[in-house]
Amino acid sequence: MANLLGVVLFALAILVSVSLHEAGHMLTAKAFGMKVTKYFVGFGPTLWSVKRGETEYGVKGIPLGGFCKIVGMTPQDDDVDPADEPRAMWRYPVWKRTIVMSAGSITHFALALVATWIMAISAGLPNPDFPTTDAQVNQEPAVIALSPCVVPESISRACTAGDPASPAAQANLRDGDRITSFNGAPVNNYGELLTGLRAAKPGDKAEIGYVRDGQPGTTSTVLGQTQRPPLDDPKGQVGPVSALGIGLRYSTPTRIQYGPVSAFGGTARLTGDMAVGTYEAMKRIPQKVPALWTAITGGERDMDTPISVVGASRLGGEAVANNAWMVFFMLFISLNFFIGVFNLLPLLPLDGGHIAIAWFERARSWVFARFGKPDPGHVDYLKLMPLTYAVILIGGAFTLLTITADVVNPITLFSR
């Protein structure tokens, strides 16, 4: 039930975001004097509507987005009433049209920034210095987090009654102990402890040196067994290895709590990281298509493959079911930031495509004027329709691919 609630909440959050995106277009267009005839949440059959002034507001039956109708977005629009011609969008200065067309993405950015600031002062933000790669983790001090058991399988799960007791617990090691030696070899970081463990065999006796509350000590235990891939090949063949029944207690906090003022700096830093991450993720999209196909046809789902709104909603459901609200809101923030950036790509029918054409027209007119040539006029959108259809076709195929992967082989963030 909690999972379903999370899915619904996240889907509703996305719907609100997209509706506010369209509201951004509508409000800026009205502010400049353009005529907006429709603003609807959803698509398909109309469930409810009301007309206020010259705009009809309403709700439609398919809650998959929203739209607003601005009169005369392009010179080729053939549904403009002669009385509305002076208020057609294409007649307005290019800077005004740019603001109107970018208002949707600006709304997504604003939502992401506000949500990030609220998280910064309430739950805290992810620590950018927290180790994320194997190399960074291996450099952490070998301060242990004790497990009461050794899980024989390669999966990560909670201990059950049939699991072997933890050798570390039997050796009276405790949470927060820092391991300083293993079988006589000094241990300076967590990576050296793992190397020592992998060099030993299950059932071997291990001599362990440690420091607890500033006081050194030694202990011994018999190593257990679990299943792990090689240290130098995390995706390699899983095999039996020795186990101590410990994890790493990180010396770096996973997140940082901010005050109302310092939260602005934390928000700016996370936003910068998301900008870089979004750019890198978008560059990798073409090479991730084969991985999506592999996931659909029965292969393992790569955690780095793109997800659709369906996949994001499922992850939101998982987050709520596991009381991981920080994950829920980080998904919301990341998705809004990605949509904001993606929508500004200079491709029709995206808003960025309209902005690019408007500035191309402006630049072309300036160049022609400098050479004393007559203004070439506006770009003929009809001639760009084949390219527009190609973008729609490719985008639709990619969306279908990601949705299918998210249904048949979804990414999961929590152990099942």
List the alpha helices (DSSP H) in 32-155.
Answer: 94-122, 134-138
Both tokens of 101, joined, read 């067309």
Q: How far is CA 254 from CA 124, 184, 249, 363, 402, in A?
A: 9, 32, 11, 48, 30
CA 149/CA 166 separation, integer angstroms: 4
CA 373/CA 356 separation, integer angstroms: 22
Cα within 13 Å of Cα(224), Cβ side: 23
Both tokens of 338, joined, read 């990605």
Q: How far is CA 240 from CA 31, 107, 222, 226, 415, in A?
A: 68, 52, 15, 6, 21
Is 22 considered catalytic here? Answer: yes
If you count them, how many residues does the chain have?
Answer: 416
Instruction: Provide the 8-state DSSP code for 198.
Output: H
**Which one of the listed residues 22, 192, 318, 361 is annotated catalytic?**
22
Strand partners, 185: 182
Strand partners, 144: 248
Contact 177, 219 (CB under 8 A): no
CA 269/CA 350 separation, integer angstroms: 28
Beta strands in 281-371 (DSSP E): none
Contact 174, 146 (CB under 8 A): yes
CB-based burial label for 327 (10 Å; 0-12, 13-18, 19+): middle
CB-based burial label for 357 (10 Å; 0-12, 13-18, 19+): buried
CA 174/CA 158 separation, integer angstroms: 18
CB-based burial label for 48 (10 Å; 0-12, 13-18, 19+): exposed
| Residues with catalytic function | 22
